[in-house]
Structure formats: C-alpha cells, structure tokens
Amino acid sequence: MENALREHRERHGLSQRDLAERVEVTRQTINAVEGDRYDPSVELVFKLAAFFEVPVEELFSPDVDLGATVSDLD
C-alpha cells in the first residue's frame, strides 16, 4: 500500500515522534509505514486520516488492482 504520510507529516511540521504520540503508536511504526515496510491496520489508517483531516484515499492508495466494481454489474 502506497502512502503520502511523510508529505502530510512534513507539511504540518511534525516529527515522526510527534505524529506517533498523537495517534498513539510508536515512532518506529510511523517510520515503517512511511518506508512502505508495514501496512497499518484499518483503525490506524482511519486515525491518521482523521488526524490530518483528509479522506483516507488522500493518504493511502493500494498498489494492487482492486478488481471488479459495482458498475461492472450493468
């Protein structure tokens, strides 16, 4: 899963530690998410999106084909 976490964090002048404290995880987790080494839980994804006040899609995007959509039913 690709993400724009680093960009959003830096735009707000936050360190990894600051952000980690705000969303109640460790600095290592923020570092791992930014480095694409760890896919966060749905809960953390929503927490981060809520913290930055952006839609989830603005922060995270899947790097796989999501497959069928409901439009395909037509």
Partner 1 sequence: MNAFAEPRNVRRAVGALAVVAGLALGVLTAADRPLVGVGVYAAAMVGVVAVQSRAETTVFDERDEAIAEEAAQLTLTVFGWASAVVFPALTLAWGLGYFEWGPATSAVALSVAVLYLTYAGLQFAVQRRR
DSSP for 30-61, please give it: HHHHHTTS-PPPHHHHHHHHHHHTS-HHHHEE
At its nearest, how many Å lie between partner 1 and the CB of residue 40? 7
Q: Which is nearer to partner 1, 11 or 28 (CB)?
A: 28
Number of shown-chain residues binding partner 1 (CB under 8 A):
14
Dihedral angle, C-alpha 56, 35, 11, 51, nearest 10 °: 40
Q: Does 61 bind partner 1 (CB under 8 A)?
A: no
Which residues bind to partner 1, rule: CB under 8 A? 20-21, 24-29, 32, 38, 40-41, 43-44
